[in-house]
Amino acid sequence: MNKIAALKKTVTVVIGIGVSKIVNDIIANNVEIDKPHQQVTVPVASFAIGGAVAEASSKYTDSLIDDAVDIWHKIKNRETAE
C-alpha cells in the first residue's frame, strides 16, 4: 500500500468515527423513543444513516486528496523542469 492509499484509509477511518458520533448524537437528542419497536428501529436507522454519510464523506475527501496530490505533482514537475 502506498502512502496516498494509507492516508486515504486513515482519513476514512477518522471520518467514519466522527460521522457515527455526530449522527448518533443528533438522533439521540432529537428523536424520542416512545414505542418498544423504536428501540430497535431507531439505532438501526442511525447506523444506516451514519454509514451513508461516512461513505459520501470518504468519497469527497478521497477526491480532495487526489486533487492535492495532482497539484503537488504539477508543482514538483515545474521545479524539476526549470
What are 8-55's pLDDT values in tens digits? Answer: 999 999 998 998 899 989 998 999 999 999 999 999 999 899 889 989
pLDDT at 80: 73
Residue 61 confidence class, pLDDT cut points 50, 70, 90: very high
Domain borders along the chain are: 3-81
Entry pTM = 0.74
pLDDT for res 70 = 94
Query: Does 67 score more than 90 pLDDT?
Result: yes
Task: For 1-70, give the DSSP string.
Answer: --HHHHHHHHHHHHHHHHHHHHHHHHHHHH----STTHHHHHHHHHHHHHHHHHHHHHHHHHHHHHHHHH
31 and 65 in contact (C-beta within 8 Å)? no
pLDDT: which is higher, 80 or 61? 61
